Amino acid sequence: ERPAEAEAEAEGRRPELVGAARDPPPEDGREGGDGEALHVAKRRKVLCSEFAAIAGSDAAVARRFLAGSDWHMERALNAYFESPLETEGAAVGAGSGSCIDLTADATTSNAGVNSADPGQKEDDSSFSLITWNIDGLDIGNLKERARGVCRYLALYNPDVVFLQEVIPPHLCLLQMKAGSYTIIPGNMDEYFTVIMLKKSRVKVLKHEIIPFPTTAMKRNLLVVHVNISGNELCLMTSHLESTKNHSKERTKQLQIVLDRMQKESESTTVIFGGDTNLRDSEVAKLGDLPKNVMDIWEFLGKPQHCRYTWDTQSNTNLNAAYKCKMRFDRVYFRPAAEGGNIIPRSMDLIGLEKLDCGRFPSDHWGVLCNFDVIL
């Protein structure tokens, strides 16, 4: 969404990235004494642990890439993930010709990146979801930004991913890098949506694409039925019609989404997430959401740290002359009738740090949602 005029809402504080390892300033190796040398050694040990957790490598591989990148975390990860397949395969013990998987063995928590344990059993008591418009229509720094998105997916290791503004090169990258996910596109031409489902957690039952009959922008609704931890879910994503001038069409599309959410079986939990481009006034015109459908951000008490997902004041990708803060990216939830098996727990924003190219992965922040599963 790139409106032609500012549509400022109330100020909201900018959140900090939760769970991401912070990069220290590069070290020049000129330590001035034993105390400083000990501090540097400890800091480098921590960096090695963080690198190993993200990359799924051992400490020796981590130290090699970090040392070769002047102990700069992002550059080291770039070098690791972009090195030849044979080198990476040998480094992580993969067989010859195996798929490079950015998402393998990377686990996180709100406290930081945990140590990877390849034999660790999946936690059936929760699951995570990311929805993100990754701005494939912006060709500037496209490769760097696409790799940045992949690194965030590797870092957070979500069970479910909704992506919008995906372009064919993105899809090829995801298919090559994210081998532990089932990848379902909503189209294959120009730009489209994608749902990614972690194979070890999510059993895919069926999927369908529901066209929006009067769209001028080739928008649709991608629907996937799955089973997670013994619970049936209907997962939906869309990129609703863009710009203020298309408010009427966007509202019609929202009504189609809400109708479909309500028509799903009462035994099924329904989650919709995506770039809705919605203004609160447009939802109000429909008479607000149905009683059995909740806006997760509102359900969690309207936390200000994740209110604005499209913020031209904090996000400089567009170099916009106007400053505008909007909650375009939303997640809706309709619980199963017997209720209580799946409960939204938290929401945070991701993608808040600039890449080495000086730009953010997207002009939108990503939205990370965590859910509790009552077993």
> pLDDT digit of tens for each residue in the chain (375 aa)?
544 444 433 333 233 333 333 334 433 333 345 566 677 777 888 888 878 877 777 776 777 788 778 888 878 887 777 754 333 333 333 332 333 333 333 333 332 223 334 445 678 999 999 999 999 999 999 999 999 999 999 999 999 999 999 999 999 899 999 999 999 999 988 999 999 999 999 999 999 999 999 999 999 999 999 999 999 999 999 999 999 999 999 999 999 999 999 999 999 999 999 999 999 999 999 999 999 999 999 999 999 999 999 999 999 999 988 899 999 999 999 999 876 699 999 999 999 999 999 999 999 999 999 999 997
Q: Which residues contact 276 (CB under 8 A, 6 or more apart)?
A: 238, 240, 250, 254, 328, 329, 330
Across the chain, which distance is largest between two alpha carbons, in Å? 71
Pick the catalytic residue: 135, 275, 295, 363? 275
Which pLDDT does position 339 carry in this prediction?
Answer: 62
Q: Which of 171, 167, 163 is nearest to 131 (CA)?
A: 163
Length of the chain: 375
Which pLDDT does position 69 carry in this prediction?
Answer: 81
Q: Which residues contact 284 (CB under 8 A, 6 or more apart)?
A: none
Both tokens of 234, joined, read 């209907």
Q: What gap in Å lies between CA 94 and CA 97, rounded to an integer?
A: 8
Which pLDDT does position 113 carry in this prediction?
Answer: 26
Domains in the chain, start-ordered, CATH in brackets? 34-98 (1.10.8), 126-373 (3.60.10.10)
Which pLDDT does position 39 carry in this prediction?
Answer: 74
Which pLDDT does position 22 carry in this prediction?
Answer: 35
Three-class SS state of 236: strand
- Supply the pTM of this predicted model: 0.71
Q: Which of 229, 179, 20, 17 is nearest to 114 (CA)?
A: 20
Residue 275 bears catalytic tag: yes
What single letter denotes the amino acid at residue 121? K
Q: Which residues, listed in sequence order, are joined to residue 366 by a DSSP beta bridge? A: 350
Three-class SS state of 252: helix
Both tokens of 57, joined, read 């490598």
Both tokens of 22, joined, read 């912070």
